[in-house]
Amino acid sequence: MSVKVELSRRSDFPLLENQPELVYLDSAATSLKPRSVLEAERSYYEECCANIHRGLYRMSEEATRRYEEARHSVARLIGASDPDCCIWTSGTTDAINLVAYTWGEQNILPGDPIVLTGLEHHSNLVPWQNLATRQQARLRWIEPRPDGTLELDNLDELLEGARLVAFTWVSNVFGSISPVQEICRRARAAGATVLLDAAQGVPHLPCAVEEMGCDFMAFSGHKMLGPTGTGMLWSRRELLEAMPPFRFGGDMIREVWRDRCTFNELPFKFEAGTPNIAGVLGMGAAADYLLDVGMANVRAHELDLLTYARECLGSLEGFELLGPPLDQHSGALSFVYRGIHPHDLATLLDRENICIRAGHHCCQPLMRRIGMSGTARASLSLYNIRADIDRLAVALEKASQVFKGVLF
Ligand SMILES: Cc1ncc(COP(=O)(O)O)c(C=O)c1O
């Protein structure tokens, strides 16, 4: 992607226009939003602020049309051929809990092994821990190597008797890309169902969900240029049809009597109550935006930035990148720098108008495994440019001056 294209894309993001001095390097936490996403939310409230699937008047029909069109857009982005298999949720966490409470309670029995990796965000760990406690199941672990890649030599052993494998597509700490197809293929050959946490994958990499081999995929709108409080669960029709609903109330029913009810068809069976309509329209607009840029271009642009960042930051004395080889790297750069505590670094960088994340990144077991209380993490998106990396390098050197004589 040429510099010209990068810059024209930057002007799509009002926050960058409002704060031209800002260097935003925390997109793994949440991304900035392009104007079209803000416009989709605003125009819902200004043009068709009615509830969906209920009204018989034109404004409600228009809101419903936009809502379902947004579902088609996100389905297109992830390569799902059946939008009815795309369930709106409030985010990745919500989508994973939906699976844990429905499919999980139906299918995980006492003693069943659930296989996770040591890379998992608490969102893809605590729901399974909790399910394991409720069902007296057991957790098994695919271990990460120090660079965030996964140790798969003993995978077949771990998969013996496993009912579920739940793992992340891209680590939010290391930016390491998991070998999704290989893990899915081996897990399914062993008879396990697979859930993919795609929170850090969908925003950065081309996605063909039906070819990846997973049974469930969860991701968030707010990390892929969409609004907070939005997300999606994708699954295969036969699995979703066999699962009981997660939440109960309006819209998810077909007929209700005083003592019983029947449930609606997919996807509505899993979408009880009035949803975040404006947010969903925003997430649809985010998907359209990414489709317009092209996910192969997003990946190429981020690879270019990662290459540059690894060279530029790697040449700083005392800079240590925690991460995989470049071809397995996406989005997030975790690092340690000259023994400076990540929180101090983040605070000093903030004085230079640079936003990075510092801490355990909701991965406390992983931090324990690598023997750290936290890391500094700079994470990228399509609106970042090489000049952002240059600013980070200069600010890191400046920060090191503060500690001169204290730490080194
Ligand atoms: C890999 C991964 N999984 C799950 C989540 C949870 O996402 P959300 O808070 O949007 O539900 C995150 C958020 O940082 C993440 O990075």
- pLDDT tens-digit profile of 172-206? 999 999 999 999 999 999 999 999 999 999 999 99
- 398: confidence class by pLDDT, cuts 50, 70, 90: very high
**Of 90, 92, 116, which is best to mutate to test ligand 1, by the most ligand atoms within 8 angstroms of its C-beta?**
92
Task: Write down the pLDDT at residue 187.
Answer: 98
- 406: confidence class by pLDDT, cuts 50, 70, 90: confident
- 6: confidence class by pLDDT, cuts 50, 70, 90: low
CB of residue 98 inside a 6 A radius of ligand 1: no
Task: Write down the pLDDT at residue 54.
Answer: 80
pTM of the model: 0.97
CB of residue 92 inside a 6 A radius of ligand 1: yes
Q: Can you tell me which atom of ligand 1 is nearest the CA of 30?
A: 14
Interval between CA 121 and ligand 1 midpoint (Å): 7
Task: Write down the pLDDT at residue 404.
Answer: 83
Task: Write down the pLDDT at residue 286.
Answer: 98
Please tell me the residue having the least CA distance from ligand 1 atom 7.
Answer: 92
CB of residue 89 inside a 6 A radius of ligand 1: no
Task: Write down the pLDDT at residue 285.
Answer: 98
The residues assigned a catalytic role are: 362
CB of residue 121 inside a 6 A radius of ligand 1: yes
In 87-102, which positions are buried (b, 16+ CB within 10 angstroms) versus exposed (e)? bbbbbbbbbbbbbbbb
DSSP lists the bridge partners of residue 359 as 375
What 3-state DSSP class applies to 87?
strand
Task: Write down the pLDDT at residue 1.
Answer: 46
Backbone angles phi, psi at 142, to 5 degrees: -85, 120
Q: Find the helix or strand (DSSP H, E) in which 205 lies.
A: none
Interval between CA 201 and ligand 1 midpoint (Å): 11
Interval between CA 124 and ligand 1 midpoint (Å): 8
Residue 55 has pLDDT above 60, yes or no: yes
CB of residue 197 inside a 6 A radius of ligand 1: yes
CB-based contact 166:195 (threshold 8 Å) = yes
In percent, the amount of the chain with pLDDT more than 70 equals 98
Q: Could you report the per-residue pLDDT of 224-261, keeping only the tens digit for each?
A: 999 999 999 999 999 999 999 999 999 999 999 999 99
**Of 121, 122, 171, which is best to mutate to test ligand 1, by the most ligand atoms within 8 angstroms of its C-beta?**
121
- 129: confidence class by pLDDT, cuts 50, 70, 90: very high
CB of residue 31 inside a 6 A radius of ligand 1: no
**Of 119, 177, 220, which is best to mutate to test ligand 1, by the most ligand atoms within 8 angstroms of its C-beta?**
220
Interval between CA 207 and ligand 1 midpoint (Å): 17
Q: Which one, of 320, 338, 319, 315, lies nearest residue 404 by Cα?
A: 338
Amino acid making up residue 192: A
Q: Could you report the per-residue pLDDT of 346-393, keeping only the tens digit for each?
A: 999 999 999 999 999 999 999 999 999 999 999 999 999 999 999 999
Average pLDDT (322-334) is 97
Interval between CA 247 and ligand 1 midpoint (Å): 21
Q: Can you tell me which atom of ligand 1 is nearest the CA of 171?
A: 1
Cis amide prior to 206 (ω within 30 degrees): no
Backbone angles phi, psi at 371, to 5 degrees: 70, 35
Average pLDDT (272-276) is 97
Q: Which one, of 94, 158, 100, lies nearest residue 129 by Cα?
A: 100
Report the alpha-carbon distance of residue 337 to residue 340 in Å, rounded: 6
The label of the residue with tokens 């050197």 reads: 397
Task: Write down the pLDDT at residue 9.
Answer: 84
Average pLDDT of the chain to the nearest whole number: 96
Average pLDDT (319-336) is 96
Residue 144 has pLDDT above 60, yes or no: yes
**Of 205, 362, 363, which is best to mutate to test ligand 1, by the most ligand atoms within 8 angstroms of its C-beta?**
362
Average pLDDT (292-315) is 97
Beta strands in 176-215 (DSSP E): 193-197
Report the alpha-carbon distance of residue 268 to residue 84 in Å, rounded: 8
In 220-257, which positions are buried (b, 16+ CB within 10 angstroms) versus exposed (e)? bbbbbbbbbbbbbbbbbeebbeebebbeeeebbbeeee
Domains of the chain: 3-30+294-403 (3.90.1150.10), 38-292 (3.40.640.10)
Interval between CA 296 and ligand 1 midpoint (Å): 23
